[in-house]
Structure 1
Amino acid sequence: MTGIDRPRRLRRTPAMRRLVAETSLEPRQLVLPMFVADGLDGPRDISSMPGVQQHSIDSLCKAADAAVTAGVGGLMIFGVPKPEDKDANGTQASDPDGILNRALRRLSAEVGDATVLMADTCLDEFTDHGHCGVLAADGSVDNDATLDRYVEMARAQAAAGAHLLGASGMMDGQVGAIRLGLDSEGFADTGILAYAAKYASAFYGPFREAVGSSLQGDRRTYQQDPANRREAIRELDLDLAEGADIVMVKPAMSYLDILREVADRSTVPVSAYQISGEYAMITAAAERGWIDRRGAILESLLSIRRAGADIVLTYWAAEAAHWLV
């Protein structure tokens, strides 16, 4: 048979496939989310996320050092206060002696500029009601009062040594408020990773255990409706106009169409978060022998990169980095 196209010529050997691969996956593109919990004297397993742990500050630093040595591009740190230290305003979030800021200072001293140190700039882990902001008298989340708290939190994290602040609360105007608040206190070099398109997803479930969430109700009044696509571009444009240095789509795997559109439009690097539910599904299927674990992990990460993510936050960052060397 002659005169037909034969794309298979470029798939014949591993070397040929490697030569013509359109998308790469490298350790530097991966960011490891990590949890540090107050009152621990060592790591504690998270039952719904096998292989992921809450850390003490000491074990956090040890695991962070291993991840950095493996070549990951950055670390995203989430703080988990003691239940009795939570309050309506999330006071511990901006306290220099709060668990997250203590951990950031320690990590900054130990890893310095060898990695990109990121901090979750949101109140949900620290509030006794579990919402990402301050509540109004009627129980709704008060957008503008929350911005004031984000600014206080951002300044504390910048002072503790964070390179990038993960503005994840989905409050209107959060990026602009944080940028102004940082600049006015001399933190002009601290960057903002804006969660531009963060959806109200059912896949966040295991994360709630990881951070000891006290959530009452849901977050659908501020996180995006999964039905909406154009709204993500509106949010992206607003965050870019307010000064975002990097933008994010979250979750990743169920929103690859959104990720592609954001990547096509964004003028800054684009990240995506392979969230806890995505991690748990692949882990559970692999544990039962239904899928090949390593193959599924790498394929899932490659799909996020192929859809347009420059940076991927994944709980497999350190492990995948070893495979990719």
Structure 2
Amino acid sequence: MRIMSTSLLVSAAIASTALAQGNAAPFTVAETGQGFASIGDALAAIGDRRGTVVVAPGSYHQCGVQQGGDVTIRAVTPGTVIFDGVPCEGKGALVLRGRASTVDGIIFQNIRVPDGNGAGIRLESGNLTVRNSLFRNSEEGILTGDYDGGQVVIDKSTFRKLGRCDRDLDCAHGIYIGRLASLSVTNSRFDQGDGGHYLKTRTARVTISGNSFDDSGGRLTNYMIDLSNGATGTITGNEMVQGKDKDNWSAFITVAPEGREHSSAGLVIEGNKAGFVPGLERGSTFVANFTDDAVRIGANELAPSMKVKDRR
């Protein structure tokens, strides 16, 4: 499993903060060479076209909204750029509503909003690709709306100290993908959740492969993977460790707990490893299926006290 070292991301970002403070134009549109003082102005300059915003090293207390186009937002060096503590529109550090968006090598942290859904990235239209990025200490890492045809791809990224279930508000989660076409999450890490699920999706199709779900430092968390309305696809080669401080420890993976909107017949779950922190044994279920769809559960390495599956 190849996941970018979080310690390298953090140390690089801290060391480079001063550079941004001395750079009058830290956001550069690669295609034109034009520089801007804010991410919002750089995105506006691209408009409805295709373009890349290259971000200089530093910690930025600002946010940006993409109103159109096909835009890439890329750190000069992965892990040297932090968007810290400032949401746009009461939603997220980046609010994306273009045709397509790519985010590469960015750290998002300390995003909170009154409705409890403060996210590093809020996706409202188009496709999204996220690579080599870190989401931490926020209410949500990535949150999307519901719309036809959207595809989300996440690779080599970390989701840490995210989620919440408090203040009589709906829970927030590490990743919450709405009613889009598909979700792919590969080679990524989820840990130290603060409530809700680590990965929640309503997409019709999923690829969840080669990830680490480490709940040993979690607090009042729920499921590792929640396929809220069912899905086809694959969940393979993941490692999952359940911790002691759970709000709901009954299952690791759930299929359609909020109602069946998609068939899960043929969903493949195999080659995963799941267990508990040392000294803990529970009768948790690996896959809790809330439908009669024939989910294909292959060979997985499970703790002795776990049940492979149940129908709920």
Smaller-chain TM-score bracket: under 0.3
Q: Which has the higher helix share?
A: 1
By relative contact order (CA 8 Å, sep 6+), the higher-ranking structure is 1
TM-score normalized with structure 2 length: 0.27
Instruction: Name the one with the larger strand percent.
Output: 2
TM norm structure 1: 0.26
